[in-house]
A and B are shown apart, each in its own frame.
Chain A
């Protein structure tokens, strides 16, 4: 048995928020609350909430299932039903969960969707995922195509394309699914709350520029971004959570403390790292401990930007409700071109004073993984910082080899230490 990890107050607060959200979801068939399934990147939570609907995010369910050791069985169920071993394990975990009774991560039953809101942002698999779920649930899809920033920006024509779809396709679909009219004032209020929470989140993420860093911006950031990436953007609970989180982090920073980790409070930080790619969820704590045991803290990560790149200045704008949603969707990390991703990583390495950067490449996610070896070379070339590369998966435990990952990380940390010694 591993010792339970000491938790921050904000982690407890988030746990309560999530628990309440899943209780409301379970009760939705009785309360009549409409339910909208959607994805994290490009999620339109403010809009969904403005219709009084409750969002369900299948990736979150999949990763939560993995954290609770349930994903292997779910994936096996999906593969028995004909899904290929080659494809995204999030999809298979979700479908396996559905075929196993659709009991969500907190042990409550998930309701059927009234609408699948397919915001097609930054990931091809999303499109197939909801086509597959449509077969299972026999429910409508509202499809929003968000163009990829192939040239590193969203053009005016592309922005107009997204806004028109929002206005002429997505909003009417939400009206039909919920039986409620579009209320732009309510949307504006939600967007204003989002912007307030985003200010606090950015302050938290950028606190990692301090030494020691009071946060871990990869493993710890999973908790920090949880509410804003999922059901709570634009809500009063979300605003309250981020205010509390920021105060907690500032308090820790003032006391010169590092983040709480599986190895305890990481006040002595030997290595400051930038990480690209999502975490492994099946061995999350063990994975984190491989870093914290070595005194390695992650000061910036790209995974913390999949649900929005707020640290580059974007805030939801209540003055332009649908336009700002288009900008938001387009700017999510995996919707950005590879050269832009290289720019971001190089900037993180330099502005956060990192000793090096690591790429965790996951088998499941071509959106992240295809091209990462080029990213590795480019960021090394641009920054001179040493890069490391290791592989596993999101929620399929068959692809997490603890011994291999640990060996690679230890070798990498030894190399960093040797470089530091040589430079001294």
Chain B
């Protein structure tokens, strides 16, 4: 299979706001259930162990006209919740049996309550990710939360929670995380071979289809003959777009303006746990412990290291061998925008060129971004070694 074929497959999945792939999976067998989850991180292993398909609900992007959603959210709240509401109120999420709301920010937290009110028959759960600084206390808490979720979802699916199924699900998600890591590594090493617009499509499609399908497509993509050619572009990391996703046009614009994106925060949940979760022993404890000990530093989690924020971007830039940083945050995104001064000052103190802009998932005009990214790339090329 060619890379173009994989990308075409992914694009069709991503552009389908009716979630046809997930609906088709559900229709294949009676009694199947699908659980949706909001960004950033949800334990998909728990969903999978209940025999359910986990589906990331990442908004409607730039393809969804907001008709009902604006009646639920004020103008100074980010775009994501209004497009998620729009999806639900227009019936596009009526195939879901459960909806999970992780503790990304207060907007998503409160959206869980909106869901409880609007859809009282649905299984709705707010997932308060462990933030305690003591790993033992945090793991104990998160294990109990995971068990509550596991039992709850098993109930929705009409079965009992089985640890063996969770162990199998952890193995599958380990494979998914490894594939995602491989994609990121390949792009980092040869970004001209892995345009970010292609990778982002593939990863977004992976949020909607069964893991096995995603793995097959990801492996096909990486195994396909090399395409693309080296270009004289600067290497940048894009920081801050971990929840509301930038429109594909914005990603293309950044890369066509003279930048290779060599690291990013897009769909961060699919690799938030940075290492494989052990499959031996108690799987609930393993999953809890892996999150507590191996979650990547991000704006959604408390940073216990006083120097952590200052060092984070410089470390990521070094790991990605990047030339600069683009802080791209969704408008009104508290986690990203409150973090930005700390991250940026740390990067600038390390002599790393930075630029910043805000976007919305439905941004449609990219001229301004092209000018900014192009100027940024030019400045790095002209004065980067000065």
Contacts and interface: CB of A to CB of B under 8 A. Distances in A.
Interface stretch (A160-168, A218-226, A262-270): A160-168
Nearest to A139: B306
B106 A123 contact: yes
16 contacts: A82-B340, A86-B76, A124-B106, A135-B309, A135-B310, A138-B306, A141-B304, A148-B126, A150-B109, A150-B113, A150-B126, A168-B137, A338-B116, A363-B76, A373-B71, A374-B114
Contact of A373 (B73, B112, B303, B333): B73
A82 B344 contact: yes
Contacts of A82: 340-341, 344-345
Interface stretch (B39-47, B127-135, B265-273): B127-135
Given A124-B106, A338-B113, A391-B74, A86 B144 contact: no
A378 B117 CA distance: 8
A-B residue pairs, 4 tightest by C-beta: A338-B113, A150-B126, A128-B338, A371-B110
Interface of A: 81-84, 86-88, 91, 118, 120, 123-125, 127-129, 131-132, 134-135, 138, 140-141, 143, 145, 147-148, 150-151, 155, 157-158, 161, 164-165, 168-169, 337-339, 341-342, 361, 363, 366-367, 369-374, 378, 391
B342 A132 contact: yes
A338 B110 contact: yes
A338 B103 CA distance: 15
B337 A84 contact: yes
Nearest to A335: B109
Contacts of B107: 366, 370
A82 to B, nearest CB: 4
B111 interface: yes
A87 B101 CA distance: 22
Nearest to A389: B74
Contact of A157 (B114, B144, B302): B144
A158 B143 CA distance: 11
Contacts of B335: 124, 128
A287 B340 CA distance: 34
Interface in B312-349: 329, 331-335, 337-342, 344-345
Contacts of B341: 81-83, 132
B5 interface: no
A391 B148 CA distance: 38
B118 interface: yes
B117 A342 contact: yes
Given A161-B141, A338-B110, A366-B105, A169 B132 contact: yes
B63 to A, nearest CB: 24
Contacts of A118: 302
A123 B109 CA distance: 10
B167 interface: no
A131 B310 CA distance: 11
Interface of B: 71-74, 76-77, 81, 101, 103, 105-107, 109-114, 116-118, 125-126, 128, 130-134, 137-138, 140-141, 144-145, 148, 299, 302-304, 306, 309-310, 329, 331-335, 337-342, 344-345, 358
A371 B132 contact: no
Nearest to B344: A82
Contacts, number: 165
Given A88-B334, A150-B109, 4 more contacts: A86-B333, A87-B334, A151-B125, A373-B72
Contacts of A138: 306
Contacts of A339: 113, 116-117
Contacts of A88: 334, 338
A381 to B, nearest CB: 10
B358 A86 contact: yes
Contacts of B103: 124, 148
B69 to A, nearest CB: 11
A367 B106 contact: yes
Contacts of A370: 73, 77, 81, 106-107, 109-111
Given A158-B141, A342-B117, A148 B109 contact: yes
A143 B72 contact: no
Contacts of B134: 164-165, 168-169
A81 B118 CA distance: 41
A226 B125 CA distance: 35
A84 B133 contact: no
A143 B133 contact: yes
B52 to A, nearest CB: 20
A366 B334 contact: yes
A246 B337 CA distance: 44
Contacts of B141: 147, 157-158, 161
Contacts of A125: 106, 334, 338
B128 A147 contact: yes
Contacts of B302: 118, 120, 127, 131, 143, 145
A131 B116 CA distance: 32
A138 B306 CA distance: 8
Given A127-B302, A128-B334, A361-B74, A84 B340 contact: yes
Nearest to B348: A82
Contacts of B133: 143, 169
Contacts of B110: 338, 366-367, 370-371
A391 B113 CA distance: 21
B137 A161 contact: yes
A378 B339 CA distance: 34
B295 to A, nearest CB: 14
A124 B131 contact: no
A178 B134 CA distance: 21
Given A125-B338, A369-B77, A374 B117 contact: yes
B105 A371 contact: no
A82 B334 CA distance: 14
Given A150-B126, A373-B71, A124 B113 contact: no
Contacts of B117: 338-339, 342, 374, 378
Contacts of A155: 144, 148
A132 B338 contact: yes
Given A128-B338, A169-B132, A371-B113, A366 B309 contact: no
Contact of A86 (B114, B299, B337): B337
Contacts of A363: 74, 76
B74 A161 contact: no
Contacts of B310: 135
Given A366-B107, A367-B106, A374-B72, A135 B137 contact: no
B144 to A, nearest CB: 4
Nearest to A334: B106
Contacts of B111: 370-371
Contacts of B337: 84, 86-87
Contacts of A165: 132, 134, 137
B116 A134 contact: no
Contact of A369 (B74, B109, B116, B144): B74
B114 A338 contact: yes
Contacts of A83: 341
Contacts of A378: 117
A117 to B, nearest CB: 13
A242 B101 CA distance: 40
A17 B337 CA distance: 37
A151 B107 CA distance: 17
Contacts of B144: 155, 157, 161
